[in-house]
Amino acid sequence: MQNQIDVNELHGGMKSIRGEELETFAAMLRGRLMVEGDPDYDTARTIWNGMIDRKPSLIVQAAGPADIRAAVTFAEENGLRMAVRAGGHQIAGLAVEEGSMMLDLSAMRSVRVDAEAGIVRVEPGATLGDVDHETQAFGLAVPIGVNSTTGIAGLTLGGGFGWITRKYGMTIDNLLSADVVLASGDCVRASPRENPDLFWALRGGGGNFGVVSSFEFRAHPVGPEVLSGLIIHPFEDAAALLPKFQELCERAPNELTIWSVLRKAPPLPFLPEEWHGREVLIFAACYSGDMADGESAMRDLRALGTPIVDVIGPHPFTGWQAAFDPLLTPGARNYWKSRDFLSLSSGTIRSILNAVGDVPDPQCEVFIAHVGGAMARVASDATAYPQRAGHFIMNVHTRWNDPGKDAACIDWARRLFQDTAADAAPSVYVNFMPEDEPNRLCDAYGGNMQRLQEIKAHYDPGNLFRVNHNILPIASEQAAQ
């Protein structure tokens, strides 16, 4: 261990930590304490978004809840800035901060299924693929996201939606309890009966209130196969088909989820080669129920227009959950802009089509998810996540490899974001927010913001957990005005 390490302090400046102190701290861990120059340091600090290249002064790789508690206590006692990394994407890159301490939970990936009770306990470093792998062994699934490489912790703490949300609700609607390490170092359980205010805040409020060491979810019978797949149309048909897509979404049964993606076609093996690299409209659909009922429910979708290909069919649920993974491999540069829409106006559709016709890189896409059903039957103040109306979520997913394209790709996303402002809802999904949108935090939480600030002041009055989409304790917010 080095003689001395300088680490960012919570309120500015740097604090020097002596080598002996670090050795004492390291001896408390079952996991590892790393600094620059140590084996695996660069691997540990590298996150999914290739735009983020930051060097933390300390990395704590936790092996269990005791390590989390030791790291939180060390940061609190020394007044250090601390970022928390779980297992997945985090578009904003807030899992790592230059010169600060990183608490890395990615080694904590246990998933334990009680099939008889329909309950799943998951550690915070697990990915959605980890969860699906274990639950599908019992014909069960938790409503989570749509990429197997997404981390369960960040997804859950921001809300969580995916292919079975319309049938079974959001991820947070299926959270039964969470074990949490607070800024004080105390380990508590949050549930409807234990620390219910903390439980409310965790369901959408992000990592602002503590570090979750274990999640407990309700699971539902799904699979092992679902009726799912893609229908790909020529881009020139999109103006006529997107309004019909909206109509189908709004009258679809809760078992059926239909999303659309507009982009240049990747070289999919089932797509004729002459379409590779050309703009297309893709409908992605999943029916979480009886196959025969699914065939009937998808009939109108499959009758739309004249598709290039239709590959709807029975697929393993785990395979469908991983179907888009090749488009989200780590290392590329990523920047997202997102909006919610209660409906897709002609102006919004026109702006999207104009942008897709001028993409700055073949990997860029506009993704439109429709959510509602079971999630819309929850009151807006029942969880920290407030947008419970059935709606469309647009994610402008800008992705590229060449750093020389940074300005062009980011400008493209921002232009489309501005061009779709007029008809957007006054809300945003916090997990889709990039780092440069602190002014949108109130949009993310709406009327729940003040309660979140009050809960933050109770559980983290010193704002130790601030390297995130940060909710200020109510006292700090008043002082800043």
Which domain CATH number covers 85? 3.30.43.10
The CA-atom distances, in angstroms, between 411 and each of 125, 138, 408, 418, 481 are 33, 46, 5, 10, 32
pLDDT per residue as tens digits for the range 255-268 = 999 999 999 999 99
Is residue 456 assigned to a domain?
A: no
pLDDT band at 19 (very low <50, low <70, confident <90, very high): very high
Decide which of 201, 221, 241 is a domain's last residue. 221
- Tell me: do 126 and 42 sit in the same domain: no
- Tell me: do 249 and 261 sit in the same domain: yes
Q: What is the pLDDT of residue 34?
A: 96
Tally of domains within the chain: 3
Give the residue-averaged pLDDT of 175-197.
98
Residue 38's domain comprises 4-104
Kindly compute the dihedral angle of the four CA atoms of residues 287, 290, 291, 293, in this order, to the nearest 10 degrees. -80
Give the residue-averaged pLDDT of 343-365.
96
Does residue 2 register a pLDDT over 90? no
Q: Which residues pair with 395 in a beta bridge?
A: 338, 367
pLDDT band at 480 (very low <50, low <70, confident <90, very high): very low
The pair phi, psi for residue 110, each rounded to 5°, is: -65, 140
pLDDT per residue as tens digits for the range 36-51 = 999 999 999 999 999 9
pLDDT per residue as tens digits for the range 333-344 = 999 999 999 999
Is residue 253 assigned to a domain?
A: yes
Q: What is the pLDDT of residue 81?
A: 97
Is residue 175 assigned to a domain?
A: yes
Sign of CA dihedral 42, 45, 50, 52: negative
Decide which of 50, 77, 104 is a domain's last residue. 104
Give the residue-averaged pLDDT of 61-79.
97
pLDDT per residue as tens digits for the range 238-248 = 999 999 999 99
- Tell me: do 397 and 321 sit in the same domain: yes
Whole-model pTM over 0.75: yes
Helix (H), strand (E) at residue 33: strand 32-34
Is residue 420 assigned to a domain?
A: yes
Which domain CATH number covers 145? 3.30.465.10
Task: Count the alpha carbons within 13 Å of 50 in the hemisphere toward its beta carbon.
Answer: 14
Question: What single-letter DSSP state applies at residue 192?
Answer: S
- Tell me: do 116 and 189 sit in the same domain: yes
Give the residue-averaged pLDDT of 133-145.
97
Is residue 55 assigned to a domain?
A: yes
Residues 6 or more apart whose CB falls under 8 angstroms from that of 367 comprise 259, 260, 261, 394, 395, 397
- Tell me: do 159 and 131 sit in the same domain: yes
- Tell me: do 387 and 357 sit in the same domain: yes
Give the residue-averaged pLDDT of 458-479.
86
Residues 6 or more apart whose CB falls under 8 angstroms from that of 7 comprise 14, 15, 17, 57, 58, 78, 80, 81, 99, 100, 101
Q: Under a CB-based contact definition with an 8 Å cutoff, are residues 301 and 285 in contact?
A: yes
- Tell me: do 199 and 235 sit in the same domain: no
Which domain CATH number covers 300? 3.40.462.20
Give the residue-averaged pLDDT of 312-326.
94
Is residue 457 assigned to a domain?
A: no
pLDDT per residue as tens digits for the range 391-417 = 999 999 999 999 999 999 999 999 999
pLDDT per residue as tens digits for the range 101-127 = 999 999 999 999 999 999 999 999 999
pLDDT band at 1 (very low <50, low <70, confident <90, very high): low
Average pLDDT of the residues of the chain:
95
- Tell me: do 166 and 288 sit in the same domain: no
